[in-house]
Structure 1
Amino acid sequence: MDIDNIDGTEQGLTRADGLWFDDCSLIIQAETTIFRISREFLAIHSPIFRDMLSLPTPRDAERMDGCPLVCLPDSAEDVTVFLKALLYYDFFEPYPAATTYPILSGVLRMSHKYEVDALRNRALTQLSQFHPTTLVGWEEFAGKRGSCTWLTHPPSVLIAIVALARQLSIDWILPSAFYLVCEFTPERLILLESDDVELSSDDKVWCVTACRLLETTSVTRILDFLWSPTHINGCEARRACADARVYARRAAEAWRDRAADEAAIMPLDLWTDATGWNGLKVCDVCLSAMKIAHQEAKQAIWDRLPEMFGLPEWPELEKMKAQAFK
């Protein structure tokens, strides 16, 4: 079938802006969007397309404007961002250049499916930077979270990231991705059906169970340094320091209060310079000891994070990450 002199509006199709080149010999259709690009360029970058386009074209194959027509099952949005990332260097630049989640996820899905390794690694790097596998990385991420535009729209994007990681086996980002869902998403929104993307039934259970554990036991352990031990060896002002620590603990306990439709309070970002240390009036000896105890408690929680979500331990996740980037 040959569709000559096609007019996108007459045929119910739309030519993709910036992705229709009259001198190219391949037309791709995704949903109701059509793209005209170089088949040679596509074959160079993707072994899947290279194999697909190397097959002889049947005589009765559908054509458009005299060009072979390839219909893809992918969304028009994903194909658009994928082709633009291939053709326009500044459309999806390497980290630390900013991007959006629709661009990142579309490029990652398509580059994974069609084996465009350079783009896939670029997308994985962007995603991994904001989902670290170490506590040090998490603490660095906390300071630059606001610079990540695609993490400023919870909870839908946060849930979508978990679903994407499950779909593409990007397991090493899942502990921190799950943690962010717990931190910013009320339980009822985790459990409710969604018109866009939702977690699997198992992942919903993991999230809700972990939320309760993080909000209760883990928060208690994070705050334990405020009154355990009762006295710190070498304290320079025992009575004043003890009173200050008890007062701080009582104040911190008040942070647990929240409305039923609010997200749970999470332990890893609970006690920071702004919310805790700057207002704690204790001697230098006590302050130093308490900071060590607090960091050890954070590390213990971080070490248990994969287990809370039914995932392999961090060393195994690190191996998966290293293998993915080979």
Structure 2
Amino acid sequence: MIPAGAGSADVSEISDWFMSSRPPIAYSDFRRVMDVALKYNIQDIISEARHRLSEVFQTDSLDDWCVELDPEGDRTPLQISYFDYIDALRLSRLLGMHSITPLLFYVCCNLSPFEKIVDGVQLAGIPEPVTLSQDDLRTCLRGRARLIQESSRIMKAFQELAFDERGRPSACKTPQHCSEALQALSLAVVDAQCFSEPSAIDPMDRWITRHENTADAKPCRHCGKALRNVVNERREETWCKLGEIFGVEEWPAGEKD
């Protein structure tokens, strides 16, 4: 545990503790370490902090995106949860980690209740509520609206496959059954309000599998694969747009051809 208000006399001890600590480190401790490291410009800690944040907020591929932000399970280098993201966005700016800010904005857009983004949250060891800057709040609100639009695009593609056989695989041998199954899934996803949330890059495979197992909602394997493909294609498109959505040029996925 790092004491609040640690200063220059504690730098060596803090550095030794941080560099030797096994993951995951609690975000409250991580933040206190970073306050000292940034104040005294301790480059080895700053470099390690950048590494740990980049391991949690992985930007190489949508396949690496982990909604729970624990991509390595118990070995994830930072124990970060829920409203810590608001402060982590601030910290990413101080560390110059512009490439991960779109993901931080994304998780902030999906906080619930969303009002906490405006009101601020109380984090352990921090006397004042942590809030977004006015510029970041504006970006977050605009981005949230865009993400909901992207979610609706996924729903539209979902419904087009369900109600238009021309988009189905030619290998399908049970078109009538698959129409009914896909339409049942389409109605279930509307009832679940999956596409009225700003969660356009979150995986849906588990949701689809779970609902396929209900009565008359499992298409043939060809149509089931086509459904997952169309959903994942739209998710990938949104993933590539995150930098543009949140006004960040240094978004790796947006730089790909």
Please say whether Structure 1 and Structure 2 have the same fold, judged by a TM-score greater than 0.5. Answer: yes
| Partner in structure 2 of residue 5 of structure 1 | none
Are 2:169 and 1:233 aligned?
Answer: yes
In percent, how many aligned pairs have the same letter? Answer: 21
**C-alpha distance in 2 between matches for 1:100 and 1:317:** 31
Q: CA deviation at 1:304?
A: 0.8
Cα separation, 2, equivalents of 1:239 and 1:226: 17
| Superposition pairs of residues 83-162 of structure 1, within 5 angstroms | 83-88=12-17, 92-93=21-22, 97-133=23-59, 134-139=61-66, 144=71, 147=74, 150-152=79-81, 154-155=82-83, 157-162=84-89
CA distance in 2 between partners of 1:111 and 1:279 (Å) = 49
Query: Corresponding residue for 1:13?
Result: none
Higher relative contact order (CA 8 A, sep 6+): 2
Check the 8 A contact 2:169/2:226 in 1, yes or no: no
Work out whether 1:165 is the aligned partner of 2:102. no
Match of 1:224 among 151, 156, 163: 156
Letter in 2 for 1:129: E
Distance in 2, Cα, partners of 1:283 & 1:289: 10
CA distance in 1: counterparts of 2:222 and 2:112, whole angstroms = 39
Q: Distance in 1 between matches of 2:9 and 2:221?
A: 58
Task: Say how many residue pairs are matched.
Answer: 236
> Partner of 1:301 in structure 2?
238
Structure 2: distance between partners of 1:109 and 1:307:
30
Gaps in structure 1 of 5+ consecutive residues: 1-16, 19-32, 34-74, 319-326
Instruction: Return the offset for 1:285.
Output: 1.2
Q: Are residues 1:180 and 2:134 paired? A: no
- Structure 2 residues without counterparts, runs of 5 or longer: 122-127, 213-217
Letter in 2 for 1:290: L
Offset of 1:300 from its aligned partner? 0.4
Specify whether residues 160 and 89 from structure 1 end up closer, same or farther in structure 2 by C-alpha distance, changes over 3 A only.
Answer: closer
Deviations 1:37-59 (A, max 9, x none): xxxxxxxxxxxxxxxxxxxxxxx
Within 1, Cα distance between the matches of 2:34 and 2:114?
28
Aligned to 2:124: none
Question: How far apart are residue 80 of structure 1 and its match?
Answer: 8.3
Determine helix, strand or coil for the equivalent of 2:169: coil
State the TM-score, normalizing by the size of structure 2. Answer: 0.77
In the alignment, the residues of structure 1 paired with residue 113 and residue 107 of structure 2 have an alpha-carbon distance, to the nearest angstrom, of 11
Instruction: Name whichever of 204-213 and 77-86 sits farther off.
Output: 77-86
Distance in 2 separating the partners of 1:290 and 1:311: 31
1:8-87 matched pairs, under 5 angstroms? 76-77=5-6, 82-87=11-16
Paired residues of 1:111 and 1:119 also in contact (CA < 8 A): yes
Aligned residue identity for 2:14: A
**Mapped contact 1:163–1:199 kept (Cα < 8 A):** yes
Contact residue 82 and residue 110 of structure 1 kept, 8 A: yes
Match for 1:178: what amino acid? F
Q: 1:124 to 1:238 in 2, by over 3 A?
A: same
Q: For residues 225 and 107 of structure 1, do their structure 2 counterparts lie closer, same or farther at Cα, with a shift above 3 Å needed? A: same
Calculate the aligned-residue CA RMSD, in Å: 3.3
> In the superposition, relative to structure 1, how do residues 143 and 220 fare at CA in structure 2: closer, same or farther (>3 Å)?
farther
In the TM superposition, residue 114 of structure 1 has moved relative to its aligned partner by 3.1
Partner SS state of residue 276, structure 1:
helix
The structure that is helix-richer by fraction is: 2
**C-alpha distance in 2 between matches for 1:317 and 1:115:** 31
Offset of residue 200 of structure 1: 0.8
